[in-house]
Every structure is written in structure tokens, then in C-alpha cells.
Amino acid sequence: MNHTLVALVEDKPGVLNRVASLFRRRAFNIESLTVGHTDRKGISRMTVVVTSSETDAERVTSHLHKLINVIAVTDLAEAPAVMRDLAMIKVTALPTRRSEIMQLVDVFRARIVDVANDSLIIEITGNEEKIESFVDVLRPFGILEMVRTGIVAMARGSSLIPGSNGNGNGNGNGNGNGGH
């Protein structure tokens, strides 16, 4: 089973390196890691997916907490969450088979974002299984190229992650190394 962790980190040079170095140093196996801005200046958000059979999510969490530039870490296994991955798939699409592909795109609620003479680029968002089964049905047509963003995730309901509720109160209680 996969475990999804969300970390809020200071947006400073070298922070990604610190996180990556920690994972390497402690031999944590990472399924995916994504980083992006948050609504608050100076704070980025990382989504880390680890395979829990190989890597103890609790260890990852406690070591992430120790990094000075990491503000908060939440384990999304503790609450229901929405997980999304985005993929762009370039697939061979000769005129004779194009409508077949477009039907599949409809069924999967994907979108065609580029059309060329003999290929299409399709964008699909969803959880991992949905994307994987979409890739499977496209494979017979000939996949030319594919890119995925890796999982981003958010807990349902009111915010689980201290300090990320957008009220700008960075020093609200409970952020920092709490939760242990």
C-alpha cells in the first residue's frame, strides 16, 4: 500500500536538496515527490508518496520534521483525502483509428489538447488507477511519449495541515514540529 505525506516547507534554495538527501541517506524509497507553491508566499508544499511495505511512513515523517526548513508534515492516511495525478500521453492516431481513440477519451473524461497529422496529445487527471487503466487501453494504438506529474493530494474537509488554511496566521498554534 502507498502512503501519502504532505509537507509544508520554506521556499528557500537547497530545501529540495535537503529533503532528497534525507531520503537517500536514510534509504527511504520514494514512489513520487512533487513540489509546488502554496497560497502563502515563501512556503512550498511537497507531496511525497512512499510504499509502506518498504519504507516506514512514521520514520519518514519524524525525519522530515527534523529538517529545520520543514514547517509541518501530515500523513494523509489518517483522514480521507483527494489524490490526483496528471498525465499527458502522446499517442499514434492515424485518421482511420482517430474516432476510436476519441471515444475512449470521452469514457475516461480525458481531454485532447493537441492534434497533429498522425498523433494526439491527451491530458488526463485522476487517481493513479484511473490513469493506469487509461494508459493500458491506449497502449495498442502506440504510445509515443508520456509524462506524469506524480501525486498531489489534499485532505477532505477542513484543513489538516496547520498554517495552511490561508488566513495568513503563520504562527498559529500547532504548526512546527507538533503532532508527535
Partner 1 sequence: MERTGAQIIWECLVHEGVQTVFGYPGGAIMPAYDALLDYPIHHVLVRHEQGAAHMADGYARVSGRVGVAIATSGPGATNLVTGIATAMMDSSPIVCITGQVNSKLIGYDAFQEVDITGITLPITKHNYLVTDVRELTHVLREAFYIARSGRRGPVLVDIAKDVQQALLRDWEYDDRPIQMTGYRPDKSPLTADLQRAAGMIHEAKRPVILAGQGVLLSGAMEELREFAEKTQTPVAMTLLGIGCFPASHPLNLGMMGMHGEAWVNNAIQQSDLLLAMGMRFDDRVTGKLETYATQARKIHFEIDPSEVNKNVRVDSALIGNLRDTLGKLSAHIEACDHADWNDQITDMKGDSAVRDILNLPDNGHLYAAHVLNDLHRHTHGEAVVVSDVGQNQMWAAQYYKHDQPYTYITTGGLGTMGFALPAAIGAKFARPEANVWAIVGDGGFQMTQSELSTAAQEGIKVNIAIINNGYLGMVRQWQEFFFDKRYSATPLRNPDFVKLAEAHSLTGIRVTKRSEVETAVNQAETAEGTVIVEFCVEKEDSVYPMVPNGADLQNMIQRPVRAQEER
Helices assigned H by DSSP within the chain: 15-25, 57-66, 98-107, 128-138
| CB-nearer residue toward partner 1: 58 or 106 | 58
With residues binned 3-state (H G I as helix, E B as strand, rest as coil), the percentages for the chain, rounded to 5, are: 30, 35, 35
Contact positions vs partner 1 (CB under 8 A): 9-10, 14, 17-18, 21-22, 25, 58-59, 62-63, 65-71, 163, 170-171, 175-178, 180
| CB-nearer residue toward partner 1: 10 or 132 | 10
- Residue 49 CB, shortest distance to partner 1, in Å, is 20
| CB-nearer residue toward partner 1: 65 or 148 | 65
Cα torsion 104, 106, 108, 112: sign: positive
| CB-nearer residue toward partner 1: 22 or 112 | 22
Q: CA 135 to CA 133: how far, in whole Å?
A: 5
- Residue 25 CB, shortest distance to partner 1, in Å, is 5
